[in-house]
Structure formats: C-alpha cells, structure tokens
Structure 1
Amino acid sequence: MRPLLALIPVTTRTAQRNFRTSAIRHLQSDFDQELLAGQNLPFNIQHKWKLATLMISYVSMAVAIPLFALRWQILKKRAS
C-alpha cells in the first residue's frame, strides 16, 4: 500500500507538466486561423463561381439519382 501512495505526487506532477506543454503547444499553433469563417470546411468558399458550380452539381445529382432509378424500374417492368 505504501508504494502506491508514493506514486500519487509523481503522477500529479507528470499530469501538470503534460498539461503545461500541451497548452504551450496549443498557443504556438495557428489557432487564430482556425477561427476564421470557412477555414473548417472541406472546400474553398473564396471562389464564388466554383462554389456555385459545386453546389448546383451536388443538388442536381441528389434530384437526378432517384429519377434515374424510377426510369430504370419503369423500363425494367416494361421489358418483362
């Protein structure tokens, strides 16, 4: 039981040291760039025409796929 009590202050000091080093690393990173609008998106929103093209193609594919599936089923039913 005695050796376990001796490890508690060492563990606490290690945890404090790890927290301090991670806090320093976090402050040295480019954290201020992450707070800008659009920086956390997987696509670039600075080019408005490219963004508009991507959004239109995304929405049109979402509408077109069920219609193609419907056409496929109707043609399949007619063939049999």
Structure 2
Amino acid sequence: MSPDEHTDWRASPLLASSLAGLPPALVLTAGYDPLRDEGRQYADALSAAGCVAQYVCFERQIHGFITMGRVIDEANTAVALCGAALRRALA
C-alpha cells in the first residue's frame, strides 16, 4: 500500500466524508487487536451518521481469531453473530 492509499477512505472507512445511508453493520473486534479502537470508532461513527450499527468486542481474542473456530470457541460465536446479522439484513 502506498502512503497515499493510507488516507483513502476505501482503505480506512473512518476517513469517508460521510457514512450516511450505509446498510446495517456488525462490527466485531478483538481485545488484543491493534485495530480494536478504530473498529469501535467506526461503529460509533456509523451510529452518529444514523446507520444501524452493532459493536461487539471479544475482549480475550487476537486479530484474526474468527478464522480459528477449530480451536477458539468464541470464533464460532463470532461467525454465528455474522450469520444472524446477514439474515436480518437480507430478510
């Protein structure tokens, strides 16, 4: 990624000029993820823009935990939350 791309809203949605009108969002973060605070800020910004946003932090987890369902039970919980959010959005 070039330095210019770091400030592109498509790489960091928090930098978008407006988040209004976006569809419902489920924002999941992990407590031991360097992106945790940014994820929370994004969920808050979505809510402030009038979007439906649900935020869940898995406090004891690391970045990428959602791909480790065979060894981390909370990964399966996170996947189930994603499935439920998709069902609601597509209903």
- TM-score by structure 1 length? 0.26
**Structure (1/2) with the larger strand percentage:** 2
In proportion to residue count, which structure has more helix?
A: 1
